[in-house]
Amino acid sequence: MVTSPHPLASEAGLEVLARGGNAIEAAIATAAVLCVVCPHFTGLGGDGFWLLAQPGAPVRGISGIGQAAAAVPAPSGPIPLRGGASALTTAAAVDSWARAFDISARDWQGSQRWASLFDRAIEYAREGVAVSASQRFWRGMRAAETGQWHGFDAAFPAQASQQQRQPGLARTLSLLAAQGPREFYEGELAHRLAAGLQAAGSPLTLDDMRRTQAREVTPLAVPYRGGTLLSLPPPTQGFATLQAMGILGEQDFAGIPEGGAEHVHRMVEAIKLAFIDRDRFLADPEFADVPVERLLGAAHIRRQAARAQADARAMPWPHRFRQGDTVFFAAADASGRGASVLQSIYYDWGSGVVAGDTGVLWHNRGAAFHPDPAHANGLAGGKRPFHTLNPVAYLRDGRPELLLGTQGADGQPQTLVALLTRLIDFGLDPAQALARPRFLLGRTFSDSRDSLKLEEDAGAEVFASLAARGHEVAAIPAQSPLAGLPGVIRLDRSGRMTGAHDPRGDGVALGL
């Protein structure tokens, strides 16, 4: 089974599975197509994160985070959000694919050639694809800004509202297929990327590109309802999702109505507590102490759970708003192995910079740094920024049972706790869990209030009860994209799989 936010990407992964490929190989093919069909949310010029699970073996993580330019200028104020000055970090998504492919070949009996995994992506970039409703929305949203973005309007013309070809990206993908992943960092393509970025005003150099490497990491884990939840370590916010779930695991959900005010209130208060720790500590662990063992330890989680309040006014929303757009996709194969993956260019359309003639849109993840160099997440040369991306896996008895993740920046842990409690505590299937009303606490691009935004189909009684508990509740439309665009695959012990992608978007789960 494959789930992704675009049907063509899911089909590309399913084709790999149909010809005998494994979950990693299917996920790489899916990832490559998403770079073509969802350019507003992901691309070769961004970062990527993987959880790789198989029965009877430890879950493996890949953290593909580009580092800041070695000669990054010290900020004199807020870090720019667009343009060359926001293209401060290298892009590690392609090297995360390489790491995953190596694991596939070495440990998962991989059978597919690297080059074959790019066939559909190259075809769609060269021949063109229909522009999705999501891409049209975000192209229109930024129409007044894109004239200032280096190379953007030529690569993504506003009039291409129905069909879009990307010949530069097709050539780039063909080079990666033929020459291998390090072409992106060390080859002739790397030279062209670096030159294009510097022409746009980015401080990134060819040497910065060469130093870029994804890393295999040990996932973080917390127990939950007889199983184990896993996500990625810092500098991702994975520990915030896990801590929030640990807090909820200290509470008894028996007799609590799913989706009712008590369920929502408990999730919101757990998120607040976890985000206080996240915003205090999260940074690149090579530059700052991030005490994840203590933060996820049983004693600390019990203390956090004891701090949960019955009235929301006792603990206001603690932090500044972060924005971000992302794609989640997952694949599971006939051997019960699974890949849970997130890729991002940070904001919709990233930095807006298209690097030369490569067709590669670069991310603006450097804007996630704090402008104060004394801050734990302060900008510094060679440093990796705070990252919102945190795919999740859930194991029971050593076997992967759930693969899930979502886009949404600060909304990611919020969407994930809603899904996980519905899937595990309330026994909903993936399609049911994804369709149920969700919340988003904090600001959005369209609402600057730190209110609790709740989809209106939660019902008037839930709104009234939450308001009585001290929440400033604001209604958003049912099935709002503000609630994230997650996907889920569930594997049961018999080998049967069920999966879905969020009905709020264009995605789909497909199985064999």
Residues belonging to the active site: 326
Distances from the Cα of 510 to the Cα of 372, 431, 440, 485, 497, angstroms: 46, 13, 28, 17, 10
- Gap between the Cα atoms of 107 and 411, Å rounded: 34
- Gap between the Cα atoms of 180 and 383, Å rounded: 26
Ramachandran assignment for 226, one of left (phi > 0), alpha (psi -120 to 50 degrees), beta (any other): left
| SS3 state at 89 | strand
Question: Residue with structure tokens 């299937």?
Answer: 429
| 365 closest CA partner among 442, 291, 445, 284 | 284
Cis peptide before 235 (omega within 30 of 0): yes
Q: How many helices (H) and strands (E) does the chain have?
A: 17, 18
Ramachandran assignment for 346, one of left (phi > 0), alpha (psi -120 to 50 degrees), beta (any other): left
Question: Residue with structure tokens 């896990």?
Answer: 242
Extract long-range pairs of 107-110: CB within 8 Å, 24+ residues apart. Answer: 108/22, 108/23, 108/24, 108/54, 108/337, 109/22, 110/21, 110/22, 110/24, 110/25
DSSP-derived letter for residue 479 is T
SS3 of 420-465: the string is HHHHHHCCCCHHHHHHCCCEEECCECCECCCCEEEEHHHCHHHHHH
Beta-bridge partners for 227? 224
DSSP string covering 211-243: T---EEEPPEEEEETTEEEEEPPTTBTHHHHHH
